Amino acid sequence: MSCEQATAQALRESGHRLTPQRLMILSVIRHSDVHVTASEIYDQVKASYPYIDVSTVYRTLGVLKQMRLVSETDMGGGEYRYEWINHLRHHHLICRGCDKVVLLDHKYWENIGAEIMGDYGFQPDIDHIALFGICHECLEHADDE
């Protein structure tokens, strides 16, 4: 079964209609090599289907987030970015000094989720997190000044 077929089946099983617009939105997110904004998704879908409305993109993103198929992350820049959630979860360290982005392995978050559940009885969605700070190079540069 292809990734699109599996996603279509998951949508149907959860009671959501499978429209051509939703399939195009899913395809853009699932096959993107980068984290995409809603406006980037809209632009890509509109290029092949000019009748799409931006509200359809936002509604579909809401459904996909609720189903935990897509993550929504604030990576700076003013717009949330979306990414397909797969079994290889990752996170980001983003430098406020030079804007460098470093991938952070999910292993750093695994215990935090369990600890929060144990302490508060709350299961956090730790799918995709961006941490902002200052990278080693920028810290060294600041020390030199």
Instruction: Provide the 8-state DSSP code for 36.
Output: B
| Tens-level pLDDT at each residue, the chain (145 residues) | 676 677 777 778 878 888 888 889 988 998 898 899 999 999 999 999 999 999 999 999 998 888 888 889 998 888 999 998 876 778 899 999 999 999 898 888 888 988 999 999 998 888 888 899 999 999 988 777 6
Nearest C-alpha neighbor of 49 from the set 60, 33, 64 = 60
CATH level 2 (architecture), domain 87-145: 2-Layer Sandwich (3.30)
Domain boundaries along the sequence of the chain:
1-86, 87-145
CATH class given for the domain over 1-86: mainly alpha
d(CA 57, CA 66) in angstroms, rounded, equals: 14
Amino acid identity of 106?
Answer: H
Pairing of strands 130-133, 90-95: parallel
Pairing of strands 101-105, 130-133: unpaired
Nearest C-alpha neighbor of 38 from the set 85, 78, 93 = 78
Is the model's pTM score more than 0.95? no
CB 104 within 8 A of CB 130: no
